[in-house]
Amino acid sequence: MYDLHTHTIFSDGVLVPSELIRRAQMKGLAGIALTDHADASNLDYIVPRIVEVCRENNRERSIRAIPGVEITHAPPAQIPALIEKARDLGARIVVVHGESPVEPVEEGTNKAAIEGRCDILAHPGLIPLELAQLASVNGVTLEITARRGHSLTNGHVVQVAAKSGALLALNTDAHTPGDLITSEFAKVVARGAGLSEDSYQALKSNMARLAALGVD
C-alpha cells in the first residue's frame, strides 16, 4: 500500500518528515509521498528540503519516501506554472488541492490543475463529468480520501471516474499520526465509496505506478 498525500511540519502537519515516514512504515506502507501545502510564496523553500529528507530516508529504510508537494489555494491562473516549477525543484508527485466541499477553494482550480497535468487532483469535490474526462485524457489521477470532510464526495468521484475512465488513488491527507491507515482500512474506505473489487485493484495498480515516479 502507498499513501501519496501527507503533510509534515513544513506546512500544517504535526510530525517532522522522518517521524511521519517511520510511522507510515509501522502501518505497513510500502511508500509514502510527502506533499506539504505550498503556493508561490514557499514552494522553493519546501520542496528542496523534502527532496533531501526523502533521499536520506531511502538510503536507510525499506519504506520508499517520495518527495512531493500540494499546491494549495493558489489562484487558478498560477497553477500550471507552479506545477512545472515544483517538478523543476525535484517534486516527483505534484498534488493540487481540489475544490473540496468543505473549503472555499476558488472555482476553476480543478480545471487549472487538470490542464496543467498535475499527478493527483486531491479531493476534487463535485467534479463534473467533462472535467473527469479531461483528467482521463491528460493522465491526471482523481483522489478519493480517508480524510473527514473531504471524503463527503468520494462516492461522486468514483461515479464520474467510472464514466470517464479517469484514474483513481486513495490517500489519507494525513496531518497527524492518527490519520495514517492500514491497507485493511483503506479497502473499507474504497468499498464505502462504491468501488468494486476489480476497481480497487486497478486503483492500487495506479498508485504503484505513481509511486514509481519517486524511484531514482
C-alpha cell at 149: 470532510
State yes or no: pLDDT of 214 exceeds 80. Answer: no
Tell me the average pLDDT across 158-168. 98
Residue 126 above 80 pLDDT? yes
> How high is the pLDDT of residue 213?
85
pTM: 0.98
88 close to 105: Cβ distance less than 8 angstroms: no
CATH placement of domain 2-212: 3.20.20.140
* Confidence at residue 31, expressed as pLDDT on a 0 to 100 scale: 97
| Kind plus residue range of the DSSP H or E element containing 174 | none
> What dihedral do alpha carbons 185, 55, 86, 23 form, nearest 10°?
20
Tell me the mean pLDDT in the region 107-120: 98
Cell of 28: 505497513
Which distant-in-sequence residues (6+ apart) come within 8 Å of 74 by Cβ? 39, 40, 82, 109
54-103: per-residue pLDDT in tens? Answer: 999 999 999 999 999 999 999 999 999 999 999 999 999 999 999 999 99
Three cell numbers written together for 98: 481540489
